[in-house]
């Protein structure tokens, strides 16, 4: 048994989808969550900036003696996979796990992936999907407006979200499945499902990543905890706490704490 926390980090609220998934799978795990709200959105930053930020975020989480880390950010997972893989604490991105989930989609029709502009620009999602799902057409679509809209409080029922979904996702309406390559996108899954229709499956990279970590902890005898949570942010703790409480459907027991981050 290992009662140390699992670290989870993202640019903001999106990683809460991975947190919820891990709590469904292993409800007793202690969790340390970091939302880098002072530096979002990540999707507009250069590859060099993102790689520096990945190291900074990993080091911040690691300083709290976590036993494993979920990098609940498709942008970092696609631009800094090598950094995650060689980090001394077991660190799991959402790209490989999400692609593994897409591999299970039956049929031979097109497969889509939606993610931030930086993720799609890296080519990492498309390359991995082509390798793991040979013979299928891959449709990569950047959705740069989604994260800013979600972080500013827009949800699935909001006209601004539904307009953005229609604007970006029109090429995906014939896809057998769409990978939600940014963890934020699970927050607007309702709008995506309504637009794409029931014939298009939605695969959550956040859930797949959490499931991968849960399996790792179980296999290695590292589960344990008391279901405790601690939330850290680099921006406004009050704003994050209010938004996180809404998304989780409950108040944060201890609120959120602000921590300093380095310039990138």
Active-site residue, 208 included = no
**Can you name the residues that pair with 10 across neighbouring β-strands?**
35
Q: For residue 20, with 0-12 CB atoms within 10 Å meaning exposed, 13-18 middle and 19 or more buried, which class applies?
A: middle
Pairing, β 31-35 against β 229-233 = parallel
Residue among 133, 143, 182, 208 flagged as catalytic: 182
Location of structure tokens 């950047």:
142
Full 3-state SS string of 112-166: EEEECHHHHHHCHHHHHHHHHCCCCCEEEEECCCHHHHHHCCCCCCCHHHHHHHH
- Two tokens, residue 107: 């049929």
- Among residues 73, 133, 169, 208, which one is catalytic? 73
Active site residue 182: yes
Residue 244's SS3 state is: helix
Question: What residues act catalytically?
Answer: 73, 182
């Amino acid at each position: 048994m290992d009662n140390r926390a699992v670290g989870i980090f993202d640019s903001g609220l999106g990683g809460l989808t991975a947190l919820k998934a891990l709590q469904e799978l292993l409800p007793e795990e202690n969790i340390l969550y970091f939302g880098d709200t002072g530096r979002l959105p990540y999707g507009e930053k250069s590859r060099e900036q993102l790689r520096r930020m990945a190291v900074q975020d990993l080091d911040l989480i690691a300083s709290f003696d976590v036993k494993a880390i979920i990098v609940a950010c498709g942008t970092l997972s696609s631009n800094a996979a090598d950094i995650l893989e060689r980090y001394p604490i077991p660190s799991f991105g959402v790209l490989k796990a999400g692609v593994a989930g897409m591999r299970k989609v039956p049929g031979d029709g097109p497969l889509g992936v939606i993610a931030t502009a930086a993720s799609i620009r890296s080519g990492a999602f498309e390359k991995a999907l082509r390798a793991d799902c040979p013979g299928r057409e891959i449709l990569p679509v950047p959705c740069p407006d989604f994260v800013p809209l979600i972080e500013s409080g827009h949800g699935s029922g909001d006209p601004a979200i539904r307009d953005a979904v229609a604007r970006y996702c029109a090429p995906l309406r014939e896809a057998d499945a769409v990978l939600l390559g940014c963890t934020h996108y699970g927050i607007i899954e309702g709008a995506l499902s309504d637009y794409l229709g029931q014939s298009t499956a939605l695969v959550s990279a956040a859930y797949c990543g959490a499931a991968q970590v849960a399996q790792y902890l179980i296999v290695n005898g590292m589960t344990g905890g008391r279901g405790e949570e601690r939330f850290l942010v680099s921006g406004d703790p009050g704003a994050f706490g209010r938004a996180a409480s809404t998304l989780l459907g409950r108040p944060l027991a201890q609120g959120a704490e602000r921590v300093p981050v380095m310039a990138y």
